[in-house]
Every structure is written in structure tokens, then in C-alpha cells.
Copies of this chain bind each other. A is one copy, B any other.
Amino acid sequence: MVKNKIRPSAYVYPMPTTIVGTTVKGKPTFVTISFCGNLQYKPPMLVISCGKHHYTTEGIKENQTFSVNIPSTKMVKVTDFIGITSGRTTDKSQVFDVFYGELENAPMISEAPLNQECKVVKIIDLGGHNDIIIGEIVQTYVNEECLTNRKPDIEKIDPIIFSGYSHYLKIGEVIAEAYKIGKEYKIE
């Protein structure tokens, strides 16, 4: 096994592709974010990492609320568009069919199969270009057709994977049952 040292960087694979929503100057706006993750079930929390000077970040800081939407692969073109354009120069308020839940100023995307509305719990500055924003998930919404036994079904959601650089990928086939296949393993 030849190990290569490369420049240390953030490579937790696979990376998700999410669209984060907020309100700036009274209008919904959105940004595509891949640096994010789940933190805990109870109380339910997640983290997103946002460029400090991004338009959306201003809105999240002002409102103290935001949404995290999981687009499906059918939405890959608009998802990339949201990521390569700034809310400062492009009005993104008409791009999606927007709905609201319990929080004000946290616009969610009807077209995205899964939506989470969040309130800010903590914003952390790690000395880089990002604000690390921890949110408590107030409510989760899932498209009817993406549920199996009342739970979100990743295969029906069909989320977008980000390669870390240059490509988007779709999920592939199921390879094993979790909490089960490991029972067959024996330490030699």
C-alpha cells in the first residue's frame, strides 16, 4: 500500500450537495453548500459551513434561521446554477416554488424532496473564510413519494453527491445491510 501525503484538506467522502435558503432584504435567496453534516438526533442538529462574505450568510446571521434542502439529481442544473451565482448580483427569489413552515425567513424549496427548517444555535469562527453555523432542526418535510414506512428513503430522494472538485454523481446500488453484515466479521 503506497500512501501519498497530499496537501491536508477536507476530504470526508462522499460529500452531500445541499441548497441552503434564507431571506435577505425581504426576499428568499439560496446558496449551494457541500461542506455540511448531521450532528445529532436529539435535539436534532446539523452544521453548515458558509463563506463569511456570502450574501446568504448575511441573511442567516440577521434572521437567525435558515433552511437546508436536499435536491434530487433531476435538479442538478439549477443546483449548480445556485452555487455559481451570487445573490448580490442575481435575484434567486423566483427560481424555486418556495414554502414556509414554522419559522419566518427560512424559505424552503418545494421541488427538493427533503427540507429542514433550522434555527441558529451557534456560529463559530475557526480563523478561515467560513462561518461554521450549527442549527437546530425545528421541522423536517419530505415529499410523500420519498417516504418508505414513514421514513425518508435515500433511493427515492435520489440526492446529489459532490466529488469535491469537479463533478456531481448519483448514488449507486445497495451493497449491504447496516448493523447486520458486521456480525459475519471475525477478527483473525
> Closest B-chain residue to A183, C-beta based?
B84
Within the complex, which residue of B83, B150, B169 is in contact with A174, where a contact is CB–CB below 8 Å?
B169
* Interface check A73, CB cutoff 8 A: yes
Q: Roughly how many angstroms separate A184 CA and B80 CA in the complex, as a whole number?
A: 10
CB neighbours of A5 from chain B (8 A): 101, 139-141
Q: Roughly how many angstroms separate A18 CA and B13 CA in the complex, as a whole number?
A: 8
Q: Roughly how many angstroms separate A92 CA and B182 CA in the complex, as a whole number?
A: 13
* Interface check A138, CB cutoff 8 A: yes
Within the complex, which residue of B6, B90, B91, B159 is in contact with A152, where a contact is CB–CB below 8 Å?
B6
Asked if residues A142 and B10 are in contact (CB atoms below 8 Å), the reply is: no
Q: Roughly how many angstroms separate A80 CA and B97 CA in the complex, as a whole number?
A: 40
CB neighbours of A160 from chain B (8 A): 175
Within the complex, which residue of B101, B138, B166, B175 is in contact with A168, where a contact is CB–CB below 8 Å?
B175
CB A145 to nearest CB in B, in angstroms, measures: 8
Q: Roughly how many angstroms separate A164 CA and B15 CA in the complex, as a whole number?
A: 14
Asked if residues A6 and B143 are in contact (CB atoms below 8 Å), the reply is: no
The answer to whether residues A44 and B9 also contact, given A38-B49, A167-B174, A179-B83 and a CB cut-off of 8 A, is: yes
Within the complex, which residue of B8, B34, B49, B181 is in contact with A137, where a contact is CB–CB below 8 Å?
B8
Q: Roughly how many angstroms separate A80 CA and B92 CA in the complex, as a whole number?
A: 42
Q: Roughly how many angstroms separate A10 CA and B38 CA in the complex, as a whole number?
A: 5
Asked if residues B40 and A129 are in contact (CB atoms below 8 Å), the reply is: yes
Asked if residues B179 and A166 are in contact (CB atoms below 8 Å), the reply is: yes
Q: Provide 25 A-B residue pairs closer than 8 Å at the C-beta atoms, listed in order of the A residue.
A: A1-B111, A2-B144, A4-B143, A4-B150, A5-B139, A6-B150, A8-B138, A10-B40, A10-B137, A15-B37, A35-B37, A37-B38, A41-B129, A80-B179, A83-B182, A84-B183, A90-B187, A92-B187, A121-B126, A122-B126, A154-B164, A168-B176, A169-B171, A170-B172, A171-B171
